[in-house]
């Protein structure tokens, strides 16, 4: 069954209300529709904004007048996304008259940076902690099927994906997994090492603007991430920051397709 990308469908997609078959179809349609991707990004930012605005640090009790305004909404609005925008507007109107400082919370770029991205990196680290303990089931697809890995994960990301050679870093390519974070596909490539737990490189859709390599600490692991030409790259493992930088520098440029035309695993823009 064909799923049309209208606002109601996108809202259901963002809220995780679609079945697996519909999610896969929407993922494919979004890969070729930049306007729809922008809508999804704004919906996610608004969701994060609402969550931040409702935090207990801002107020303990919801004012009666705010509850009354929300309850007066139509019983069946034509579009669930419009209902969410209405709620955001009501919250904004209610908070403007209080002592809440909005300069930081209500900037979408801050919400995306401090909420969505941090959550994504933390979830990648959590996934890695689970899979790094596996031996027989470390990967879904073994390294012997490298060409299949590149074609399979590349198609999900609408680009050509090449597995970088990290043998000079003492790493042996073991294979790959497909992760899903907030309904987005994440390609996870895994390497083992003689002494220590495995190391992973993850690739997913990211910001259209470039972002230099930044290394954070999540769940006891070093997590290095950067954005380039619409994709986010993450190196994660129980390794030193220098090792993260060396591995990231080995990620080679390839040839992309579709949305990422001319983009492969891009060279890392280093911080000055």
Q: What is the pLDDT of residues 149-202, one digit of tens each?
A: 999 999 999 988 999 999 999 999 999 999 998 888 999 999 999 989 999 999
The position carrying tokens 């950067």 is: 226
Question: Would you state the pLDDT for residue 192?
Answer: 96
DSSP 114: I
Of the listed ranges 80-84, 110-114, 185-189, 264-268, the one predicted with least confidence: 264-268
Q: What is the mean pLDDT of residues 126-136?
A: 89
Ranges assigned E (strand) in 134-260? 141-142, 171-181, 184-193, 199-205, 211-218, 221-228, 231-237
Compute how many other C-beta atoms are within 10 angstroms of the C-beta atom of residue 159: 28
| Residue matched to tokens 């470390």 | 138
**Alpha-carbon distance 13 to 62, whole Å?**
28
Indicate the average pLDDT of the chain.
75
How does residue 80 score in pLDDT terms, banded at 50, 70 and 90?
A: low
C-alpha angle 198-141-162 in degrees, rounded to nearest 5: 80
Would you state the pLDDT for residue 4?
54
């Amino acid at each position: 069954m064909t799923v049309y990308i209208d606002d109601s469908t996108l809202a259901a997609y963002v809220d995780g209300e679609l079945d697996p078959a519909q999610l896969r179809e929407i993922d494919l349609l979004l890969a070729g529709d930049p306007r729809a991707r922008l809508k999804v990004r704004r919906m996610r930012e608004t969701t994060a904004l609402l969550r931040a605005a409702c935090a207990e640090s801002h107020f303990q009790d919801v004012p009666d007048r705010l509850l009354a305004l929300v309850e007066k909404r139509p019983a069946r609005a034509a579009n669930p996304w419009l209902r969410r925008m209405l709620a955001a507007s009501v919250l904004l109107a209610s908070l403007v008259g209080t002592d809440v400082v909005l300069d930081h919370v209500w900037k979408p770029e801050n919400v995306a940076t401090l909420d969505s991205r941090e959550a994504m990196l933390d979830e990648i680290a959590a996934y890695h902690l689970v899979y790094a303990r596996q031996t027989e089931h470390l990967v879904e697809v073994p390294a012997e099927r490298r060409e299949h890995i590149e074609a399979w994960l590349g198609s999900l990301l609408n680009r050509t994906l090449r597995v970088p050679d990290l043998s000079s870093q003492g790493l042996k390519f073991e294979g790959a997994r497909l992760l899903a974070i907030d309904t987005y596909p994440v390609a996870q490539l895994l390497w083992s090492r003689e002494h220590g737990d495995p190391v992973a490189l993850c690739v997913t859709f990211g910001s259209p603007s470039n972002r230099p390599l930044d290394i954070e600490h999540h769940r006891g692991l070093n997590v290095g991430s950067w954005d380039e030409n619409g994709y986010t790259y993450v190196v994660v493992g129980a390794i030193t920051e220098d090792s993260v930088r060396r591995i990231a520098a080995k990620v080679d440029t390839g040839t992309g397709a579709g949305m990422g035309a001319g983009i492969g695993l891009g060279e890392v823009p280093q911080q000055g």
